[in-house]
Amino acid sequence: MDVWKLIDAAEEGGFRDGDIAKAETMLLDALAEHEGPPDSVERMHLMRTLASLYGFDDPPRWGEVERIYAEMEVLRLTGYSKLQTGMMLFWQQQHFERAAAKLREAAEEGKEEDDRRTRYQALSNLGHALLD
């Protein structure tokens, strides 16, 4: 299975044509059939695409989005994973208090991992979240 072509097809059908159900089925099937490691780049991209699709649904399915991000955090125990969740809470859901807590976690883990990029991005977004 060419994951990248499938994602392109799902994005074409779901995001551009508005057929969310079709795109969701394609992505869920691809996740079920994926044979690589659970934390592979391809699987993570499939999961992020599915989460984006749920966020664009009308109404947005935030519970599903959060479930996917929580699963990605478990698969990759890094500050960067927490940063992604924090940014989703801030930019997509505009839930500033929860975003601030998650971004603090990401900044701390970035410091422990000596990941300056994650730490910088987490602190930048944290400052923005605290202002809102």
pLDDT tens digits along 95-109: 999 999 999 999 999
Query: Structure pTM?
Result: 0.86
Q: What is the pLDDT of residues 45-97, one digit of tens each?
A: 899 999 999 998 889 999 999 999 999 999 999 999 999 999 999 999 999 99
Q: Return the residue matching tokens 């603090």.
A: 104
Contact 46, 73 (CB under 8 A): no
